[in-house]
Amino acid sequence: MPPTLRLLRPLFIFWGVAHLLFGIAGSALPRWFFSVVPPWPPLHVGQIQIAGVFDLAMASAFLFAATDIHRYAPLMISVAVVAEGGHAAVRIGHIILEDNPREDLLAPACMAAFAVYLVIAGLRLRRWPGS
């Protein structure tokens, strides 16, 4: 098994659990969630619930992909690069425009780093025979 695949399983599980926790909090407890997240611009409860549903979908995809990395890694890498990288870019853009505080940079920086790692992992998997 290529080293890239060995690391993807625990990463998919970690990100899947993180998305699951955020998804449950955002969907089921949106007012509580909004009271404990960084001081973003005011959002409607429905917007937080929509974000929670997105997180639940991502959690399902990551955790399902972790069950058979050989089979699902190529698809999940593509989905995650777009989702995590896109989300990071939007959040960082809001920080640059001063819509969000600079203190909000840690989470999108982690998402961006994960997306970059996944791009590299995807390129390595394309070159690895039988993966």
> Exposure pattern of 71-100 as b/e (b: 16+ CB <10 Å)?
ebbeebbebbbebbbebbeebbebbeeeeb
- pLDDT exceeds 50 at position 131: no
47-91, pLDDT tens digit by residue?
A: 889 989 999 999 999 999 999 998 999 999 999 999 999 999 999
Instruction: Quote the mean pLDDT of the chain.
Output: 88
In this prediction the pTM is: 0.86
* Dist CA 67 CA 120 (whole Å): 21
* Backbone φ and ψ of 118, nearest 5°: -65, -35
Name the pLDDT band for 128 (thresholds 50, 70, 90).
low
Domain boundaries, the chain: 3-126
